[in-house]
Amino acid sequence: MLIFEHSRSGRRAQAQAPASAADTADIPEQLLRRDRPLLPEVSELQAVRHYTQLSQKNFSIDTQFYPLGSCTMKYNPRACNTLAMLPGFLSSHPFAPESLGQGFLACLYELQEMLKEVTGMTAVSLTPAAGAQGEFAGVAMIRAYHEARGDGERREILVPDAAHGTNPATATMCGYTVREIPTDRQGDVDLAVLKESVGPHTAGIMLTNPSTLGVFERNIQEIAAVVHQAGGLLYYDGANLNAILGKVRPGDMGFDVIHMNLHKTFSTPHGGGGPGAGPVGVGRRLDPFLPVPVVGYNGDEYYWIDETVRPQSIGRLSAFMGNAGVLMRAYVYARMLGREGMQRVAEFATLNANYLMARLTAAGFDVAFPQRRATHEFIVTLKRQQKEQGVTAMDFAKRLLDYNIHAPTTYFPQLVPECLLIEPTETESKEDLDAFVEAMVKIQQEAETAPERLKEAPHSRPVRRLDEVRAAKQLDLVWSGPVG
């Protein structure tokens, strides 16, 4: 039920809007609206019940195991939120002079330094307001670099077929054409095709390492050499940074630019379209093009660096300096972990994934790359089950909801048929991992004895199987009924 359906004309939540607060006497006449806003009219208690009940329908990391591959749905420590909401941080205003924001600026500067250190890059800008904007900034810098050298003929970005869908989209947004590079049988980039594909038209390559196939790209140094020799640059998509945090550094692999999804790796709020942060890190070649502002430090005080100091910058990406409150959460997280803690993130994320992969393999499931060690995630393919029992990856995913487990990522990457991309993350206990294996084994038994139980799942949720075709074709997000 929507909040609008509770609405009755004239009903008020008086405690929330005392009459004195509605005094508009000091607002100029021409600024007052004539028509009433189309807002639902409910009592305070109705509003409380409505939103509490909605929140109880949430299927989230706070309530359930959430092994959504390629998304790193790990637990965000509450302290990140609490400390970032200290009044001194919350009340800070972007127009306040630097001298009154030294504490905030110090945190942002230190976050820049920590992200540089953990990625092996030479400079970091925190300003991109989300992962997508970070990607855009990264490729825009590659473009600015080639143009600054008068090398404008480089029109093509290489993207492996195991890449995130956002990579070709970003390259296209930045005015490049995309050439897809296939993956070999072992899950690595096909080097022979890569060598044939590079040339004076190559602007760069966008890579995720570990890839979305859940394996580490073993030929990364050779890939870097091939692309660099052709005059192209290497872009690192930070989607899977959690797997290698503090263990291997993209800068050392030869990458020239990286974007980081702080919501995946550094414990900032995830999804929902809310405020995000997608900092970019660069090597020496791209340093002059970094988006502004960045925070500087002269040993005495912290200050903003803008276009006047960095004239070759690709410019500003938002009105101020990015989502500072979100960055503060990442800062607290990084500080709490420290250098050793970051390594443990990667170690336990990888250990948990390999434990799950080994147990599911022993239980009879087929994994996509059985000969490879998993990184922080791995792929189960249910192709055999589809053939033998007529059940699909989607049926397994929906049935897992009945076992109180969020579904893993389904049908991505597209290279593997009927796939589940499973990422347990470092924050799950052995008991929770075992419960997932048990649920998968039970569902497999059901697939053999009562497949309709899978086909009709979920049985225990507020909504049953959704009509995805209708949802995509007849998207309806606007209340069109009466208001008030």
Partner 1 sequence: MSNIPADLKYAKTHEWARLNDDGSITVGISDNAQEQLGDMVYIEVPDVGKLVAAAQPCAVVESVKAASDVYAPVAGEIVEVNGNLVESPETVNQDAYGEGWMFRLRPSDPGELEELMDADAYESFLESESH
- Interface with partner 1, residue 201, by CB under 8 A: no
The full DSSP string for 285-329 is GGGGG--S-EEEE-SS-EEEE-TTT-TTS---SSSSSS-HHHHHH
Stretch 371-390: interaction string toward partner 1, x if CB under 8 A: ------------x-------
The span from the CA of 464 to the CA of 471, in Å, is 14
Stretch 330-369: interaction string toward partner 1, x if CB under 8 A: ----------------------------------------
Residue from 472, 477, 480, 481 that binds partner 1 (CB under 8 A)? 472
- Interface with partner 1, residue 414, by CB under 8 A: yes
The span from the CA of 13 to the CA of 44, in Å, is 5
Closest to partner 1 by CB, 375 vs 410, is: 410
Q: Which positions from 301 through 330 interact with partner 1, judged by CB under 8 A?
A: none
Q: How many CB atoms lie within 10 A of CB 306?
A: 15
Nearest approach, Cβ of residue 473 and partner 1 (Å): 5
Nearest approach, Cβ of residue 169 and partner 1 (Å): 10
Nearest approach, Cβ of residue 472 and partner 1 (Å): 4
Nearest approach, Cβ of residue 257 and partner 1 (Å): 26
Closest to partner 1 by CB, 384 vs 461, is: 384
Closest to partner 1 by CB, 55 vs 414, is: 414
- Interface with partner 1, residue 165, by CB under 8 A: yes
Nearest approach, Cβ of residue 469 and partner 1 (Å): 5
Nearest approach, Cβ of residue 410 and partner 1 (Å): 8
Judged on CB neighbours under 10 Å (0-12, 13-18, 19+), 93 is exposed
Closest to partner 1 by CB, 231 vs 408, is: 408
Contact criterion met (CB below 8 Å) for 277 and 327 = yes
Provide the CB-side half-sphere exposure for 281 (13 A, CA).
26
Closest to partner 1 by CB, 46 vs 386, is: 386
Closest to partner 1 by CB, 171 vs 244, is: 171
Nearest approach, Cβ of residue 69 and partner 1 (Å): 15
Nearest approach, Cβ of residue 363 and partner 1 (Å): 22
Point out which span in 115-123, 208-216, 242-250, 407-415 binds partner 1 (CB under 8 A): 407-415
Residue from 95, 468, 476, 480 that binds partner 1 (CB under 8 A)? 468
Provide the CB-side half-sphere exposure for 15 (13 A, CA).
6
Tokens of 75: 């637990």
Classify strands 409-410 and 419-422 as parallel, antiparallel or unpaired.
antiparallel
Q: Tokens 């593997």 sit at which residue? A: 416
Point out which span in 113-121, 144-152, 434-442, 469-477 binds partner 1 (CB under 8 A): 469-477
Residue 98's SS3 state is helix
**What are the C-alpha distances in Å from 416 to residues 369, 413, 419, 454?**
10, 6, 6, 21
The full DSSP string for 342-357 is HHHHHHHHHHHHHHHH
Contact criterion met (CB below 8 Å) for 174 and 140 = yes
Point out which span in 207-215, 262-270, 344-352, 405-413 binds partner 1 (CB under 8 A): 405-413
Residue from 417, 445, 448, 482 that binds partner 1 (CB under 8 A)? 417
How many positions of this chain bind partner 1 (CB under 8 A)? 11
* Amino acid present at 60: S
Q: Helix count (H) and strand count (E) of the chain? A: 16, 13
Residue from 34, 93, 430, 473 that binds partner 1 (CB under 8 A)? 473
Nearest approach, Cβ of residue 263 and partner 1 (Å): 23
Residue from 297, 320, 411, 479 that binds partner 1 (CB under 8 A)? 411
The span from the CA of 168 to the CA of 157, in Å, is 8
Sorted by sequence, the CB contacts under 8 Å of residue 200 that are 6+ apart come out as 153, 154, 230, 231
For the chain, the C-alpha Rg in angstroms (whole number) is 25
Contact criterion met (CB below 8 Å) for 408 and 67 = yes
Nearest approach, Cβ of residue 158 and partner 1 (Å): 16
- Interface with partner 1, residue 465, by CB under 8 A: no
Closest to partner 1 by CB, 46 vs 389, is: 389
Residue from 402, 412, 455, 479 that binds partner 1 (CB under 8 A)? 412
Nearest approach, Cβ of residue 471 and partner 1 (Å): 9
Provide the CB-side half-sphere exposure for 39 (13 A, CA).
11
Nearest approach, Cβ of residue 370 and partner 1 (Å): 13
Nearest approach, Cβ of residue 369 and partner 1 (Å): 13
Provide the CB-side half-sphere exposure for 190 (13 A, CA).
15
Point out which span in 33-41, 340-348, 436-444, 466-474 binds partner 1 (CB under 8 A): 466-474
Closest to partner 1 by CB, 404 vs 414, is: 414
Contact criterion met (CB below 8 Å) for 399 and 450 = no
Residue 473: its H or E element: helix 468-473
Residues lying near partner 1 in the complex (CB under 8 A): 165, 383, 410-412, 414, 417, 468-469, 472-473
